[in-house]
């Protein structure tokens, strides 16, 4: 697939960024690069793969091992699962996932994974719906009580205006055309409904520190790279009203980046647990860095006109 020369969000020129990274999760292939728009700080992975080209990069180990849709065995595996989920739950109790003044209604998560975030919304009184291309993921989300569809926004079954909230939580970066995806998601909102996007922060200080070993790059699966400025302009492009924009972080991401520094690629076992141990004393410095230079993820909350 050819890489565009013009930014699809703000129409600024794209230039090659100083980032080279391999697939550190599954195949070890690469290197991959990023072409970046200096105007809005949006990036696009090069070469950008599509269709069947991406199939080897979404192997069973991606869905079942790394994201643990079906669980695992062994005490260490269960401890890692617990640490990852506790960290995620702490994030979900803060903005942008705490929507003050918004009455519960129907929420759709695009790229719902195992439905853990939907489970949080269900506990707050929301009626939950999930969309994901992985059958293992949607099966896990269904076990948490969500009504699910295995597929993408291109074949989703719901009518326009069906939802009060649509969420992209670390999923928009996997979609080839983010402008079209956000536009389709906006059409699923009722008047006054809100769209929540949470993605890796391309402008994070951690990206500059870890460079090609920053775990949030996750190339070539991450086709797009966003900044708070890019999300703001994306919302404006599709006619949504910006309600909030900012950054947040997940503590476990530090452990994964340290793991890539140690092992070079995803290597379950003692090297992973060493990374956990080494990252713990770093967390106060990560917290301070996030306050000064932005967290490892960025978010935007937007609303459709009433």
In a domain, 2, yes or no: no
In a domain, 155, yes or no: yes
pLDDT of residue 108: 98
Whole-prediction pTM: 0.93
Q: How many CA atoms lie within 13 A of 232 on its CB side?
A: 11
pLDDT of residue 73: 60
Q: How far is CA 137 from CA 146, 150, 157, in A?
A: 11, 8, 18
In a domain, 217, yes or no: yes
Rounded to 10 degrees, the C-alpha dihedral 90/93/94/99 comes to 160
- Three-state DSSP class for residue 7: coil
Asked if pLDDT for residue 70 goes beyond 70, the answer is no
Three-state SS letters, 195-237? EEEEEEECCCHHHHHHHHHCCCCCCCCCCEEECHHHHHHHHHH
In a domain, 259, yes or no: yes
In a domain, 18, yes or no: yes
Asked if pLDDT for residue 76 goes beyond 90, the answer is no
Cβ neighbours of residue 174 under 8 Å, at least 6 residues apart? 111, 221, 222, 223
Least confident residue range of 70-84, 163-177, 195-209 = 70-84
Instruction: Say if residues 137 and 114 touch (Cβ distance below 8 Å).
Output: yes
Q: Which domain holds residue 23?
A: 14-303
CATH number of 262's domain: 3.40.50.150
The number of domains in the chain is: 1
Q: What is the rounded average pLDDT for all residues in the chain?
A: 90
Mean pLDDT, residues 125-150: 94
pLDDT of residue 184: 98
In a domain, 6, yes or no: no
Asked if pLDDT for residue 68 goes beyond 60, the answer is no
pLDDT of residue 85: 72
Quick check: bond before 100 cis, omega within 30? no
Least confident residue range of 19-23, 25-29, 36-40, 90-94 = 90-94
In a domain, 8, yes or no: no
For 246-287, how does the pLDDT look when each residue is reduced to its tens digit (9 = 90+)? 999 888 889 999 999 999 999 888 898 899 899 989 989 988
Mean pLDDT, residues 83-110: 85
In a domain, 59, yes or no: yes
């Amino acid at each position: 697939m050819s890489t565009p020369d013009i930014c699809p969000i703000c129409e600024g020129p794209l230039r090659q960024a100083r980032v080279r990274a391999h697939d550190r999760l599954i195949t070890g292939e690469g290197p991959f690069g990023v072409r970046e728009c200096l105007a809005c700080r949006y990036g696009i992975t090069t070469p950008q793969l599509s269709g069947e080209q991406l199939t080897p990069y979404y192997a069973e180990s991606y869905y079942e091992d790394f994201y643990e849709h079906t669980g695992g065995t062994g005490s260490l595996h269960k401890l890692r699962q617990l640490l990852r989920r506790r960290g995620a739950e702490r994030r979900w109790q803060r903005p942008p996932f705490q929507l003050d003044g918004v009455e519960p209604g129907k929420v759709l998560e695009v790229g719902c994974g195992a439905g853990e975030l939907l489970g949080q919304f269900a506990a707050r009184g929301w009626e939950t719906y999930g969309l994901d291309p992985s059958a293992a993921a949607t099966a896990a989300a269904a076990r948490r009580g969500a009504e699910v569809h295995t597929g993408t926004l291109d074949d989703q079954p719901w009518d326009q205006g069906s939802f009060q909230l649509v969420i992209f939580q670390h999923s928009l970066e996997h979609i080839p055309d983010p402008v079209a995806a956000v536009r389709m998601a906006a059409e699923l909102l009722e008047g006054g409904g809100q769209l929540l996007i949470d993605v890796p922060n391309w402008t994070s200080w951690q990206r500059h520190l870890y460079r090609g070993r920053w775990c949030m790059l996750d190339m070539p699966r991450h086709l797009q790279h966003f900044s708070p400025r890019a999300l703001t302009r994306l919302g404006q492009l599709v006619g949504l009203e910006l309600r909030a924009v900012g950054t947040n972080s997940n503590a476990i991401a530090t452990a994964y980046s340290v793991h890539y520094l140690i092992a070079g690629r995803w290597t379950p076992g003692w090297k992973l647990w060493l990374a956990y141990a080494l990252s713990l004393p770093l967390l106060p410095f990560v917290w301070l860095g996030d306050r000064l230079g932005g967290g490892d993820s960025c978010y935007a909350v937007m609303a459709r006109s009433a």
